[in-house]
Structure 1
Amino acid sequence: MALEWEQAQEKKQDHTPPQVPIRTPPTPITRPPSEISCFVDAAWDARSKRSGVAWRISRNQPHLRLSGTQIFEAVSSPLVAESLALLTGIKQTLQMGFQSAAFYSDCQTLTRAINCKNQIIEIFGVLHDIDHFSSRFSSISFQFVSRSQNGETDALAKRALKVHVSSLPSL
């Protein structure tokens, strides 16, 4: 036992500094060539409760750019409008036959709710629909982007709402 104790003491005195693991930079996320990017946005008019939503699809290889807009009536808030924009983008992407997509929105509340599986009462039904249609993709992601990175889609949504409001007859 004394011999074991001495050997243990010798091991304690051997103070070689512990090796610190070398951090390697994270590998950049590579998206499959078949994956597309879909930017979505909404413009909401509080007075009329209308919303213009827009989606813009792009892919680098081969070069692809598609976009569209839609008007929704009886939209209760900007958050509902943003969630309808995302749902519209998802449906359009599926309708075009894409199986892999990254969706970008400048609504952080919405992207956080989807990614963290948070339930927000105000958009509960739309979140359920987003979840349902998302299951049809082989690969899907939802990411927040700043408004400056979503400017083209924002302009489409605002233009759609403005054209729709100006084309309505005055009462």
Structure 2
Amino acid sequence: MCPRCSCENETGDHLLLDYPFTRAVWPGSSLHYSPPLDFTPTVAGWLGSWDVVFRQDKRLGREALSKAAFLCWYLWRARNELCFNSISWTPSEVISFADKAYLEYAKVEKPAGHLNSPQVAGRDSAPLVWIAPLLGFFKINCDVALPQENVKGGLGLVLRDHAGVPMKFVSILMFFDSALQGELLVVRTALRLTLELGFSQIQVETDCREAVNYMLNQSGSPPCNSAVLISDIWKLSSSFSSVSFLFISRATNGAADALARKALSFVCLID
């Protein structure tokens, strides 16, 4: 019996990928992985999905898999601390311990001056290059363009699959009065689009940290002109088996930015 949820057999699959505590750890790590909700994930199936990452970039694959291994180890440590010492770690503590252990390992594994790969950024920083989602997931990059002293702005989004192949480009000219409102509008548009296409496992990326913070923190107090949009985003999110909202660097979001700027040249408005 699982010592945390007391409702499942404590298998390795359950411990490392399926129970609620674990599901809070993975999305908060630098891997931004969200275990699927519509079926019980297995370690074997999860490891098999890493082939896609290794085919795209072997160095990225090695580093990401090393980070995943340390997270698994500290999930096991957290379980033992609870069972044998009645000490309950938080998900953020597991992530912090795993990150520290990985950095110590990386110092030994790599020459000085080459500690951080540009593809795998720290948990509190934005990745410096675009990273494809895992097999079975789709990633939507979103951005807005709003000229100064103008309420007519552009929304841009690009949808890609696990191989990084673009599946949809969208540019929309729309009325909105702040960058935050525009960012939330384009995220809502992205969620509606992916639901229409029948996708159930998605990652949404934007270079607006404020928007991501509001979407992840349901106890926040957003501006009045954005509150309804955030509520819509939460409702739409419940329709997916797995959805995550990620902050990325502006340099990584170039395609969505270009699409948003392209919309400014349009004549027709959507309000």
Higher RCO (CA 8 Å, separation ≥ 6 residues): 1
Identify the match of residue 27 of structure 1 among 40, 63, 68. 68
Are 1:106 and 1:147, in contact at CA under 8 Å, matched by a contact in 2?
yes
Q: What are structure 2's unaligned runs of at least 5 residues?
A: 1-65, 72-131
- 2: CA distance between counterparts of 1:31 and 1:64? 12
Identify the match of residue 53 of structure 1 among 155, 158, 162. 155
- 1: CA distance between counterparts of 2:152 and 2:247? 24
- 2: CA distance between counterparts of 1:47 and 1:109? 20
Q: Which moved more, 1:88-97 or 1:38-47?
A: 38-47
Q: What are structure 1's unaligned runs of at least 5 residues?
A: 1-24
> Higher Cα Rg: structure 1 or 2?
1
Give the aligned residue type for 1:48: N
- 1:88-99 equivalences in 2 (<5 Å): 88-99=189-200
- 1: CA distance between counterparts of 2:235 and 2:241? 13
Identify the match of residue 188 of structure 2 among 87, 108, 112. 87
Q: Which residue of 1 aligns with 2:243?
A: 140
- 2: CA distance between counterparts of 1:62 and 1:80? 28
Q: Does 1:102 align with 2:143?
A: no
Superposition RMSD in Å: 2.4
TM-score (norm 1): 0.74
| Cα pair distance change 1:113/1:63, threshold 3 Å | same
Q: Which residue of 2 aligns with 1:72?
A: 174
Q: Which residue of 2 aligns with 1:22?
A: none
| Cα pair distance change 1:63/1:151, threshold 3 Å | closer
Are 2:133 and 2:162, in contact at CA under 8 Å, matched by a contact in 1?
no
Are 1:46 and 1:77, in contact at CA under 8 Å, matched by a contact in 2?
no
Q: How far is 1:26 from its partner?
A: 3.2
TM-score (norm 2): 0.48
More strand as a share of residues: 1
The aligned length equals: 141
| Cα pair distance change 1:151/1:31, threshold 3 Å | closer
Q: Give % identity.
A: 24
Give the aligned residue type for 1:72: M
